Amino acid sequence: MALLWLAPALALIVGVVLYPAVKLFDASRGAFSITGLRRGDAGWDNYTKVLDHPDLRQVLTNTVVWVVAVVAVTILLSLALAQFLVKQFPGRRFVRWAVIVPWAASLIITSQLFVLLYDYNYGVLNHVLLRLGVLSQPIDFLGNDSWTMFSMVVVGVFVSLPFTIFVFIAGLGALPTDVMEAATVDGASPWQRYRHITLPLLRPALMVATVLNVIYVFNSFPIIYTLNDRNPGYLHDTTITFMYKLAFKSQEKDVGMSAAAGVFNVVLILVVVAIYLRIINWREEATR
């Protein structure tokens, strides 16, 4: 009877998770023509080719910078904005609704909007900065290698804020008021209350927000591809866009290599999340 009730969920897991994972691993050990037709087995050669790729180190570095920068800035800004949005002030409901907009909009549309904002010749951002006297000449935000990653991180933070803010709003709303009142009566300063009471009690929300943001940001293909599509090579690519270019836009055009890179991506994100969860559990055990 239990299996009967679980059957729809199990079928969904098998069809959406397990079957694609098996096919991905199978493709990673195959040899494919330039048109994507399978010509036979390649063994572990595709994995060797990915590991020997001359741009792999740059791609991994970009991935670390991208994930760490977006997640860290998102968490810090979301904590501050969530503290503001739990306060009572006129128009709070409309502000909360406005915060949801970047989350509800399509990532492709949002990314393309920022492409227009960043445009060297006609972008609003350059126009405003020039009119204010901040710049003496326009900045090529998406074409200048010194600005490309920063510009992508800004978009990544912008679309990650809504979800994270509401996670923290829910966490702050669940905090026991009697503990805060007792700390205030005992003479604790606002910073002491925040550091020793609010942050420890927000640990579950912090863990959920961090883990989910790491996964979402790591797998964020639309933002990086849309903003970085004009740049040749892999100078600003992460492992996700690297995998796509191996199959469709590079000189290799190798589906097998792309699938092998996809397997590495899955393993990498699982290892990172497992390490983070292990650290969190270790800290909880140490505090006990």
Question: What six digits make up the tokens of 138?
Answer: 């326009």
pLDDT in tens, 95-153: 888 888 888 888 888 999 999 999 888 889 999 988 888 888 888 888 888 899 999 99
Alpha-carbon torsion 99, 101, 103, 109, what sign?
negative
pLDDT in tens, 55-111: 889 999 999 999 999 999 999 999 999 988 888 888 888 888 888 888 888 888 899
**125 to each of 151, 155, 157, how far by Cα in Å?**
12, 14, 17
Hey, what CATH class is 43-287 in?
mainly alpha
- For the chain, how far is it from start to end, CA to CA, in angstroms? 40
Contact (CB, 8 A) for 142 and 151:
yes
Q: Is the pTM of this model over 0.95?
A: no
CB atoms inside a 10 Å sphere around CB 283:
11
Per-residue pLDDT band for 250 (boundaries 50, 70, 90) equals confident
pLDDT in tens, 4-39: 899 999 999 999 889 988 988 988 888 887 777 788
pLDDT in tens, 187-201: 777 788 778 788 888
Alpha-carbon gap, residue 244 to 168, rounded angstroms: 34
Tell which wins on pLDDT, 230 or 90.
Answer: 90
Q: Does the pLDDT of residue 284 top 80, yes or no?
A: no
Per-residue pLDDT band for 230 (boundaries 50, 70, 90) equals confident
Cβ-proximal residues to 85 (8 Å cutoff; 6+ apart), any chain: 92, 95, 96, 99, 165, 169
Contact (CB, 8 A) for 190 and 107:
no
| Beta-strand runs (E) in the chain | 30-32, 38-41
Q: Identify the pLDDT of residue 283.
A: 56
Q: Identify the pLDDT of residue 65.
A: 94
Tell which wins on pLDDT, 141 or 250.
Answer: 141
Contact (CB, 8 A) for 231 and 148:
yes
Radius of gyration of the chain (CA): 23
Q: Identify the pLDDT of residue 204.
A: 84
Average pLDDT score over the chain:
86
Quote the percentage of the chain above a pLDDT of 70: 97
Tell which wins on pLDDT, 192 or 214.
Answer: 214
